[in-house]
Amino acid sequence: MHDLPLYGVVVVELSDSASAPFAGQILAALGADVWKVERPTGDSARGWGPSKWKGSGAAFHAINRGKRFISLDIKDRGELATLHQLIAERADVFFHNLRPGSAAQYGLDASSLRVTKPELICCEVGAFGHQGPLNSAPGYDPLMQAFAGIMSITGEEGQSPVRAGVSIVDFGTGMWAVIGILAALFRRQLKHVGATVNSSLLETAIAWMSIGVANYNADGEPGSRHGSGVAFIVPHRAYPTADGDLIISCANDALFARLCETLDRPEWAIDPRFATNAARLRHRALIDGLIGERLAGHPRACWQERLGAAGLPCAPIQTTEELVHHAQTEALGIIGKPSDDELAVVGLPLSFNGKRPPPLSAAREVGHDNADLEFLAKRQRSPRGADKACSGEVTSASSAASD
């Protein structure tokens, strides 16, 4: 699409699992020509289940659309040379999620690649980060939610810790990688220099803990679990109605007073135990219980209508099915497919001049676009496995996650 912001930018993505592939898909949705390099057996996410679509896990299709798919064994000297040639001849950006140190073994580290291509943007998507005592350890999304403390403040107090139901660290890391790449491309446009961008699962998880870290450094309290609520605002959680749960969020005292009026309990707003957010935090269990008792007497839709009419932030806890078929989701047009026989998936959550980038083409089978490497067919291959560039095993899945 010629009108997309990254049209003309070529990206080579050597990735596996979730975080780095998600970054590649974002770049593709923004118009970049993304070449996804898989090992001959394919990306690990192709085997994720239980949901499947055209032979691969639905999860793989969710984060690998809009790309070219080539298969290269970088442990084979000839195939590694092809990858180097692709980067040298085509790439503006090269990124990977190889284990720390593995890229250098194959000459795919930033310092090696920029000897011959100084303006190349290189991005390394890691697990625990590019330095420190754990920098070479493998990692996945649940490990980082645990390590960074996210799970220590997620769930109900007194119950076992839980992780977020979606891979927030994987997807967040992919987003940070894209932000870094875009910043580096902008700098290259101005200064004609390349850059090395480092992004990691742990750094992303720590970033998601920004408020928790600030709170701890302010008062020494490590934080606790509040279920659907948060530590610093009341009311700001799910409450049961007669037929389902409803999230109500009152981020300031004025909204709380309006809630009290809407619930026909105006006296709560002037009660010294509830009049301010600080007071409500001290009496959280009491006010939450009172609100819950009031809401339990009527159906969820009734309360949605009343609260919505009063301009109070609220939302039902929906299933995926309800989300997909909701009128607001349909109006946004964020779920779509490139053709009638393809899987409907979530598109880019951005619009340009009021227009969302069109749905990306579906993910293809392993090596689908090898023929696009004109020089691949012309070069003399060494027999697979006969001539290795390095005897070490390469695992590109170390910094991505599975659910």
Say if residues 58 and 352 touch (Cβ distance below 8 Å): no
- Supply the residues annotated as catalytic: 170
Say if residues 35 and 68 touch (Cβ distance below 8 Å): yes
Pairing of strands 314-316, 245-249: antiparallel
Instruction: Give the C-alpha separation, 226 to 238, whole Å.
Output: 11
Closest alpha carbon to 23 in 73, 64, 53: 64
Instruction: Give the C-alpha separation, 25 to 34, whole Å.
Output: 8
Q: 229-234 long-range contacts, Cβ below 8 Å, gap at least 24?
A: 229/284, 229/288, 231/153, 232/281, 233/277, 234/277, 234/280, 234/281, 234/284, 234/287, 234/288
Phi, psi of 370 (to 5 degrees): -55, -30
Say if residues 2 and 357 touch (Cβ distance below 8 Å): no
Torsion of CA 241, 247, 252, 255, to 10 degrees: -50
Instruction: Give the C-alpha separation, 71 to 79, whole Å.
Output: 9
For 187, the enclosing helix (H) or strand (E) is helix 168-191
Which residues have C-beta within 8 Å of that of residue 378, sequence separation ≥ 6? none
Closest alpha carbon to 346 in 8, 129, 66, 117: 66
Give the residues across from 195 on adjacent strands: 121
Torsion of CA 336, 337, 339, 342, to 10 degrees: -130
